[in-house]
Amino acid sequence: MGRLRQFYLTCVSEVSWRIPNRPAKFLAQFSQAERGSAYDMLAAAELTDRRELRRKYLEHALDETAHSKIFRERANALGIGREESAIIDIGYLSDHGIIGGETLFERFGELKFLAFVHIAEKQALEQFMVYKSRDLLDPETQVRLDGIRKDELFHMTYSGAELEHYRKNGLDSEVDKAIRQVHRDRWKEKWLRFSQHIGHFVSSLWLLLIYALLIAPFRLLARPEGVGWHQSKGGLSPDHVAKNNKLIAARMQS
């Protein structure tokens, strides 16, 4: 690990992991991230043309599933809030683009996928080392993390060995290119996520302003819907069809 990265990880971890209740939240997020990773590994096991890699991908997926459970147990043990837990469980994977749409394997192809796995596992290991060296975790979580680190080491090693295999087959420049691309993508992803947070914040302010200034006057005219049975509106009801041609009515979004 480079000095700059170590400095960055130490600073960020020292600040964020010391905030009360944050460790539980982070562990719940780790749990979801591992879950997403398991799905990606399963997709790789299904889609790869290199049949000799299938079993490794499957084993990797099983490890990630086990890690996900461990992280979730520790998050619960550290008392993650009820609402926070629900938000992370429901939205984390899709909000972080970890899952949904194309899988990583489909997006990257075999070589870049392996480069991604190698780099992600290496960076996770570095992160875990910082937690240990700075004594940021409770003893029980640290014990469980030590077990996980062994698996991560295996994941980093086998993906690294596969990259070497490509190099030995004369694909040196392709491997280097894939590694560069993955590093670049990871930074880009971080930047996009940061921008998303900013955009989210700014749009919330604007919408709140619109709510206060534009919605308020209409409140005088509006009434909540009454209770009980109402006559159905819309659809292809006779009224609706009478007003519009049947096909046009069916094409309408309102």
Partner 1 sequence: MLVLESQRDTLQNTLSLVDRPMPCWILGISALYHDSAAVLLKDGVVFAAAQEERFTRIKNDLSMPIRATAWLLEHAGISPSELEALVFYEKPLRKFERILSTSVAYFPYSWRLFSPQMRAWLGDKLWLRDKLISQFAVPKDRIFFSEHHLSHAASAFYCSPHQDATILTVDGVGEWATTALWSGSGADITPVSEIRYPHSLGLFYSAITAHLGFVVNNGEYKVMGMASFGEPRFMAEMNQLLIVKDGRFELDLRYFCHHLHPRRATTRHFETFFGVPRHPSEPFDLDSDDPQIVSRSQLFADIAASAQLALEEALMALVHHAHQTCPSTALCLAGGVALNAVANQRIATEGPFEHVWVQPAAGDAGGALGAALWGWHMVMGNPRTAEPAFQVSLGRSWSASKVADYLEDFRLPFTDVTENFSETVAADLAAGKIIAWMQDGFEWGPRALGYRSILADPRSAEMKDRINRSVKFREPFRPFAPVVLASAIDDWFEVPPAARNMTPYMVCTVNVRSEVIDKIPAVTHIDGTARVQSVSDEHNPLLSKVIEAFAALTGVPVLINTSFNVKGDPIVNSPVDAVATFLQSEMDCMYIGNLRVEQPKRQRYHSPRIDG
Contact 48, 54 (CB under 8 A): yes
User: Which lies closer to partner 1 via its Cβ, residue 134 or residue 167?
Assistant: 167
Nearer to partner 1, 190 or 246 (CB): 246
Shortest Å distance, C-beta 182 to partner 1 = 21
Q: Name residue, tokens 């919605």.
A: 215
- Which C-beta is closer to partner 1: that of 133 or that of 196? 196
- How many CB atoms are closer than 10 A to CB 44? 26
9 or 158, CB closer to partner 1?
Answer: 158
Shortest reach from residue 86's CB to partner 1, in Å: 7
CB 162 within 8 A of CB 175: no
Min. distance of Cβ 55 from partner 1 in angstroms?
A: 5
- The token pair at 197 is 């947070």
Question: Residues 88, 28: contact at Cβ < 8 Å?
Answer: yes
Q: Which of 131, 137, 142 is nearest to 23 (CA)?
A: 137
Residue ranges that bind partner 1, judged by CB under 8 A = 38-39, 42, 45-46, 51-52, 54-56, 58-59, 61-63, 65-66, 76, 82-83, 85-87, 89-90, 93-94, 99-101, 154, 157-158, 161, 200, 203-204, 207-208, 210-212, 215-216, 218-219, 222-238, 246-247, 250-254
As a whole number of angstroms, the distance between CA 250 and CA 90 comes to: 33
Cα–Cα distance measured from residue 196 to residue 150, given in angstroms and rounded to the nearest whole number? 34
Minimum gap (Å) between residue 79 Cβ and partner 1: 8
Q: Smaller CB distance to partner 1: residue 198 or 247?
A: 247
